[in-house]
Amino acid sequence: MSTAFTTNQKGDMPMAVMHLLITISIILILILLFKINAAISLIIGSLYMGIAMQLSLVDTVNAIGEGFGGTMGAIGLPIGFGVIIGQLMSDSGAAHTIAHSMIEKSPKKMAMYALGLTGFFLSIPVFFDVTFVILVPLGVAIAKELNKPLPYAIGALVIGAATAHTLVPPTPNPLAAASILNMDLGVITIAGLSIGLVTSLIVMKVFFLILDKGLWNNEKDVEGEMKLQKTKADQLSPAQRPSFLLSLLPILVPIILILLGTVFDFIVKGEYVSNLTEIPGFITFLSNRIVALLFGVILAYVIASKSMDKKEKDEASSLGLQTAGIVLLVTGAGGALGKVIETTEVGKTLIGGVSENTSSPITLILITYLIAVIFRVAQGSGTVAGITAMTIMASAATSGIVHPVWIAMAALSGGISIGHVNDSGFWITTKLSGFSIRGGFKTYTLGEALVSLVIIVITLVGVIIYPA
């Protein structure tokens, strides 16, 4: 392989940073100005980075192929399985059962919080837009029962669903975090669940207080009638839908299996059991992300059999994979860029330059967050924003300055930061709710911005307490 540009050879960190900034600019210009697909834009940016950093044409292309293939090998099947689980849960009525049960079992005063937390748990396997469509009718009913304006319910839904979609596997970004930053998927799952739940509760409280102060103006923030969409599961009677406990299994079983491997790894490394020197083979097998999510898919198929025939289940799986296609392509392209950055040692150069001036992990966290925010605001996709930030800062995860989980949280929080008119989630929320663009800013944009700020604050506190 031809020799890449490195600080040892050139001693010129500014040049490496300049080429990285040009690469980022190329990607953003292609997406924003020329409306080119994010995956294609990432690959073109990768080509520039490799060539500019003195890789040969062949080596650059090989690095792109290796990066794409490596990423897909690590997370392609898990993402696909996660999407199938979500689609089957949606179409079979399992998601509706979970939603109705959680709302019915919560105290009336806590109904709005229960709505948001329901959105949180449903968005673990189900994409944000599907979760929103499922829960909007419940949100309307709760708002009427509590005599609260609709934005309280819409905001709660956005906060809960968007937080889980951003932080908790098997959604693409947190799943990619484990691969890009070379960390245990169980660790990112624990961090995503714990930080996500705390964040959701805090942000819902803050959001409700802001609305109480008079933020909402019906005359300016509402544009038309709410557009409630009917789904296949809406046509099912309660008797046709699976029970609450059965409905939970496709979500809980994969998470438990993944965490099982993390627990045994902790026990082995901590030498808490004298005769246990390595993780048993069957535990390693069961906790593998592919196997764990495969169990989830099988359970989702079995549970869906109560209300769906074979053809309907196959159609649901196909529809889910169609939805996942672009996500997989973008994620793989992010992996390609990551491999080029790794091969050219740009990441090490950047982290080395930063660490020469400061060894503060907080600086690395804020840089990661800022990169993700820039991508999020500029091109709209939280997936592209988070993956790009993690890819650029991956070297920080091995620097010993900061623990990889904090790099992941910083990138993911930046990826959810400011969703506006270039984000499909903004339009789904705004149009289905009957809000004006101004109303969308006050619910979707404000809700996600508050989530981002709380996550980054928790991350910075975590870095201070446990930096590496």
d(CA 404, CA 270): 20
Q: Please give the tally of structural domains in the chain.
A: 1
Residue 2 lies in a domain: no
When pLDDT is averaged across residues 309-328 and rounded to a whole number, the result is 85
Banded pLDDT at 449 (limits 50, 70, 90): very high
Whether the predicted pLDDT of 7 surpasses 60: no
pLDDT at 259: 93
pLDDT at 352: 65
With CA atoms as reference, report the closest residue to 123 among 201, 197, 230: 197
d(CA 30, CA 46): 13
Whether the predicted pLDDT of 3 surpasses 60: no
Coil/strand/helix, residue 379: helix
pLDDT at 283: 93
With CA atoms as reference, report the closest residue to 74 among 184, 238, 167, 165: 184
With CA atoms as reference, report the closest residue to 189 among 203, 162, 170, 172: 170
Banded pLDDT at 206 (limits 50, 70, 90): very high
pLDDT at 166: 94
Three-state helix/strand/coil letters over 180-205: HCCCCHHHHHHHHHHHHHHHHHHHHH
Coil/strand/helix, residue 435: strand
Residue 232 lies in a domain: yes
Whether the predicted pLDDT of 10 surpasses 60: no
pLDDT at 2: 47
Residue 338 lies in a domain: yes
Banded pLDDT at 361 (limits 50, 70, 90): confident
When pLDDT is averaged across residues 293-301 and rounded to a whole number, the result is 95
Question: What percent of the chain clears pLDDT 90, i.e. is strictly above it?
Answer: 51
Per-residue model confidence as pLDDT tens digits over 114-169: 999 999 999 998 888 888 888 888 888 898 888 999 999 999 999 999 999 999 99
The answer to whether the beta carbons of residues 99 and 142 sit under 8 Å apart is: no
Torsion of CA 264, 269, 271, 273, to 10 degrees: 10
Element (H, E) at 419: none
Whether the predicted pLDDT of 228 surpasses 70: no
Phi/psi for 435 (5° steps) reads -90, 160
d(CA 70, CA 74): 6
Residue 382 lies in a domain: yes
Residue 282 lies in a domain: yes
Per-residue model confidence as pLDDT tens digits over 94-129: 988 998 898 888 888 899 999 999 999 999 988 888
DSSP 8-state code for residue 227: -
Concatenate the DSSP letters of all residues of 240-293 into one string. Answer: TSPPHHHHHHHHHHHHHHHHHHHHHHHHHHHT-STT--S--HHHHHHHSHHHHH
Residue scoring higher pLDDT (151 or 236): 151
- Helix ranges restricted to H, 146-184: 150-167, 172-180
With CA atoms as reference, report the closest residue to 429 among 204, 129, 134: 129
Count CA atoms within 13 Å of residue 362 on its CB side: 7
Q: What is the pTM of this model?
A: 0.86
Count CB neighbours of 378 within 10 A: 17
With CA atoms as reference, report the closest residue to 67 among 288, 287, 394, 461: 394
CA max distance for the chain: 70
Torsion of CA 460, 265, 395, 66, to 10 degrees: -140
Per-residue model confidence as pLDDT tens digits over 261-273: 999 988 888 778 7
Banded pLDDT at 357 (limits 50, 70, 90): low
Banded pLDDT at 16 (limits 50, 70, 90): confident
When pLDDT is averaged across residues 208-221 and rounded to a whole number, the result is 93
Looking at residue 161, its amino acid is A
d(CA 261, CA 265): 6
pLDDT, averaged across the chain: 88
Residue 1 lies in a domain: no
In angstroms, how far is CA 374 from the centroid of its own chain?
17
d(CA 47, CA 44): 5
pLDDT at 329: 87
Range of the domain at 457: 7-465
Whether the predicted pLDDT of 238 surpasses 90: no
pLDDT at 234: 67
Whether the predicted pLDDT of 462 surpasses 50: yes
Residue 437 lies in a domain: yes
Banded pLDDT at 240 (limits 50, 70, 90): confident
d(CA 31, CA 25): 10
d(CA 379, CA 290): 31
Write out the two tokens for 415.
């990826």
DSSP 8-state code for residue 3: P
